[in-house]
Amino acid sequence: MAVTRGHGNPNWNRDEIILALDLYNQLGGSLPGPNDARVIALSDLLRSLPYHAAAARNPTFRNPYGVAFKLQNLRSVATGKGLSNVSALDRAIWAEFGNAPEQVRELAGRIRSAITTEGMEDDESSDDEEFYEGRLLFRLHRSRERKPQLRRKLLAKRRSSGLTCDICDLTRPDLPPDLEESLFEAHHVVPLAEAEVRPTRLSDMALLCACCHRAIHRLIALEARWVGISEARTFLRRVGSHPSEVQSQSELDERLLRAEQG
Ligand SMILES: [Zn+2]
Ligand SMILES: [Zn+2]
């Protein structure tokens, strides 16, 4: 088996392990070999994912042997027998989803459907922006937020009370409407992994200035968990919400000192 493990291939990432765990759950205890159609189908899928484009040119990358081996690893984690080859991520994902096969089914379905979502190629997010939803769901999340129609509806809804960032309260009613609107973006407040499968509602969307939007996604990535608007608001507003609010260097120093003191 050693030759077929694909030494030198990149480690399996979260999305890939969830897809394998979903297959493992469907197998009801049996462990098929590399000639099994389901194993081959998963291998084909994994090789087509936009994760490890260069490695995917290597014939051993996620080949059916590799998939069959991963299923063995998952059984090791599940049964606690023969754990020597199991990765920390396998264990972590089992700890998270071992008792929730329906959730794995759901997530795997979403990952599969995210693969075919339009506009994924031109996503400019960097790898470290992925958060616990995994890269594909993260991209789907971003692509939903960026739907121009949705943003327009959100802006129209919020227009009556004045456009304000839900995190830092930035508001620029002095600007011409086009320019004012260009400061704001729609942010989806429900993690995709937890949202029901339904079209996005306006009530799912927060209005954020581009800076805060960037910051909340970074915060989610750094924390490796979902961070809601009010938590981000507390966190990002500790020192000063916006540079324009800070009148002088001494005031900034004072705010920093206060923030440090808690
Ligand atoms: Zn803001
Ligand atoms: Zn967002």
CA of 239 to the centre of ligand 1 (A): 14
**pLDDT at position 190:** 79
pLDDT of residue 121: 46
Q: Pick the closest to residue 85 from 8, 22, 5, 17 (CA basis).
A: 5
Task: Say how many Å lie between the CA of residue 184 and the centre of ligand 1.
Answer: 8
Residue 92 near residue 101 (C-beta atoms within 8 A): no
Q: What is the pLDDT of residue 204?
A: 85
Which bound ligand lies closest to the C-alpha atom of 217? 2
Whole-number pLDDT of residue 186? 93
For residue 132, report the distance from its CA to the centre of ligand 1, in Å. 23
| Rounded distance between C-alpha atoms, residue 198 and residue 66, angstroms | 35
DSSP code, position 199: P
Domain boundaries, the chain: 2-115, 127-260
In the 8-state DSSP scheme, what is residue 83?
G
Residues 72 and 21: beta-carbon distance below 8 Å: no
69 vs 125 pLDDT, higher one: 69
pLDDT at 196: 53
Taking 60 as the threshold, does the pLDDT of residue 133 lie above it?
A: no
Higher pLDDT, 121 or 238: 238
How far is 159 from 181, CA to CA, in rounded Å? 10
Cα–Cα distance, 249 to 34 (Å, whole number): 65
pLDDT of the residue at 146: 81
Rounded to 5°, the CA angle 221-227-232 comes to 105
Distance (angstroms) between ligand 2 centre and the Cα of 48 equals 27
Q: What is the pLDDT of residues 192-217, one digit of tens each?
A: 655 555 667 788 899 999 999 999 98
Q: What pLDDT, on a 0 to 100 scale, did the predictor assign at position 195?
A: 53
219 vs 68, more confident:
68
For range 229-254, the mean pLDDT:
65
Q: How far is the CA of 165 from the centre of ligand 1 (A)?
A: 5
181: CA distance to ligand 2 center in Å? 16
